[in-house]
Amino acid sequence: MRVSIVTAVLDGAAVIARTLDSVAEQDYPSIEHIVIDGASSDGTLDVVRAHGQRVAVVQSARDDGVYQAFNKGLRAASGDVIAFLNAGDTYANPSVVSRLMHEFDDPSVGAAFGDLDITDPLATERVLRRYRCGRFDPEQLASGFMPAHPTLFLRRDVYERAGHYDERFRIAGDFELCLRVFAILRIRFRHVPAVLVRMPSGGMSNRGLASAIAITREMHRACTQNRIDTNWFRLLMRLPRKAVSRFVHGE
């Protein structure tokens, strides 16, 4: 099967090379790498040309946020399975894609994902927080817990059934999509018990307290929109667990 990996980027010249190289180093033979650039002005496209030996599609135009970029990638993708790896993120080793794609040998599996390390953006070997998904259950979505999106591989037909990312969301569109995929459609999934992606801190969903409150607000709206029974207290209670993880692993 072919896998399409979509990388969304805006002014990511300083970090996108490591993402491009990470995908290029994968040992899986059938990868379609798609770069969706939001009209960067910092030389990002020059870096893509220099490091994009495995890039099949490049689109560059202004967009209205990351989820619109994701949807552009979905429309461009031809793979049987689709994944997203944003600029700056890297796969943990060259066999990550092969390991995840192996799970789709079972035709009943619609999704596969693994674990993720959030790292220091200046010293990416230093782990600040560990995001472990082995105990994920769709019921946990009502508490704000979801699979690590950069590790999530979904069959094309799952997107055809669930729909694309809701572009009205600014920070929790991936959470809202997971509600449709796992809580409503009840797609069968597999968890790979290994760190698959390393993501530098500083992204939209891990920028401190203000970001945490903003994403909780959108999570609550996403649950209401999809008729998932939850409340503000339940969603906010995930934050102390994240804080403890950051304290333990961020020393």
N- to C-terminal Cα separation, the chain: 41
Kindly report, residue by residue over 108-124, the tens digit of the pLDDT: 999 999 999 999 998 88
Cα–Cα distance list, 147 to 20, 123, 132 (Å): 23, 25, 8
Tell me which residue has tokens 């619109």: 68
Q: Please say whether the structural domain 3-249 has been given the CATH code 3.50.50.60.
A: no
| Residue 206: per-residue pLDDT | 53
Residue numbers of the chain with a pLDDT score lower than 50: 244-251
| Residue 249: per-residue pLDDT | 37
Residue spans of the domains in the chain: they are 3-249
Residue 36 CB partners (closer than 8 Å, separation 6+)? 6, 7, 8, 9, 59, 63, 69, 70, 72, 73, 76
Write the DSSP string, 193-226.
Answer: EEEEEEEES-STT-S-HHHHHHHHHHHHHHHHHT
| Residue 204: per-residue pLDDT | 57
Q: Could you tell me the pTM of the whole model?
A: 0.92
Kindly report, residue by residue over 153-205, the tens digit of the pLDDT: 999 999 999 999 999 999 999 999 999 999 999 999 999 999 999 999 986 55
- Residue 177 buriedness (CB in 10 A; 0-12 / 13-18 / 19+): buried
Cα–Cα distance list, 185 to 82, 125, 147 (Å): 18, 37, 15
Length of the chain: 251
